[in-house]
């Protein structure tokens, strides 16, 4: 498992040349996904919606999604939690992040309509951070395995998003970050030397270190529920 994750990190950290190959241009228009949004699950107080990183195994993501969900269950006392794994390829194809963007928005809209009192914590790691960025209106076009925005959460859903947790976010290597409506409820962690989110970073292992930040991220989210 670790070998495959290391290969994924090496692929993502291959420098400017790889970024050019892996990321679509800002003018590219990814084809719409044909998959229907998943049906809404039983209503919980909070749903954790997690977009895993490239080739990342695990239910919500071995490195980030799973440990963050486990930590949040301990910290969000008195609240029921459910989870949703964003349905997308999480590979190096030019339309991967766009498919995740559309699925995340479709799912959260469906879930919010079915469960009006439910709140959401959005979690994205590596390519999954691109997915979340796009979904809240921050384009990841030009970033490694990024994509132009194909869907955004509507204004009616925005107040239901309690927290946005991002790890190894590729747009940071472009000098970008989450701004605007979601900025105050966003925790965007970039490990020192992580070449995916730090321009000039040279520590590939740093991109695999984000399990260490699960408690910090869960505490941030729990404080906003």
Q: For 110-121, write each residue's pLDDT tens digit.
A: 999 999 999 999
Reference 89, options 141, 39, 133, 54; nearest CA is 54
Overall average pLDDT of the 51-65 stretch: 97
pLDDT at 6: 41
Res. 74 pLDDT band, cuts 50 70 90: very high
pLDDT at 41: 53
Overall average pLDDT of the 31-40 stretch: 43
Reference 179, options 136, 144, 120, 218; nearest CA is 136
The active-site residue out of 66, 87, 103, 194 is 194
pLDDT at 182: 98
Residue 225 has pLDDT above 50, yes or no: yes
Tell me the pLDDT tens digit for each residue of 166-200.
999 999 999 999 999 999 999 999 999 999 999 99
Query: If 0-12 CB within 10 Å is exposed, 13-18 middle and 19+ buried, where does residue 190 land?
Result: buried
Residue 135 has pLDDT above 60, yes or no: yes
The residues, ordered by sequence, that sit 6+ positions from 223 with a Cβ below 8 Å of its Cβ are none
**Which two three-digit tokens encode residue 40?**
């809404």
Tell me, yes or no, if 194 is annotated catalytic. yes
pLDDT at 13: 45
Mean pLDDT value across the chain: 87
**Which two three-digit tokens encode residue 150?**
């194909």
Tell me, yes or no, if 107 is annotated catalytic. no
Res. 23 pLDDT band, cuts 50 70 90: very low
pLDDT at 33: 39
Tell me, yes or no, if 207 is annotated catalytic. yes
pLDDT at 42: 74
Residue 16 has pLDDT above 90, yes or no: no
The active-site residue out of 22, 126, 140, 147 is 126
pLDDT at 25: 35
């Amino acid at each position: 498992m670790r070998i495959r994750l290391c290969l994924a990190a090496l692929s993502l950290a291959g420098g400017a040349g790889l970024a050019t190959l892996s990321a679509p241009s800002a003018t590219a228009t990814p084809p719409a996904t044909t998959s229907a949004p998943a049906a809404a699950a039983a209503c919980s107080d909070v749903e954790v919606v997690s977009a895993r990183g490239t080739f990342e195994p695990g239910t919500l993501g071995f490195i980030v999604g799973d440990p963050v969900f486990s930590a949040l269950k301990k910290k969000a006392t008195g609240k029921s939690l459910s989870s949703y794994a964003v349905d997308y390829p999480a590979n190096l194809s030019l339309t991967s992040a766009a498919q995740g963007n559309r699925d995340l928005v479709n799912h959260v809209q469906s879930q919010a309509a079915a469960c009006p009192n439910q709140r959401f914590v959005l979690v994205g790691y590596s390519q999954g951070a691109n997915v979340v960025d796009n979904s809240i209106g921050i384009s990841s076009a030009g970033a490694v395995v990024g994509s132009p925005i194909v869907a955004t959460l509507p204004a009616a859903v925005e107040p239901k998003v309690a927290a946005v947790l991002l790890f190894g976010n590729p747009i940071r290597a472009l000098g970008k970050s989450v701004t605007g409506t979601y900025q105050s409820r966003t925790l965007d962690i970039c490990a020192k030397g992580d070449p995916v989110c730090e321009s000039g970073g040279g520590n590939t292992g740093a991109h695999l270190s984000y399990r260490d930040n699960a408690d910090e991220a869960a505490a941030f989210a729990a404080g906003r529920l």
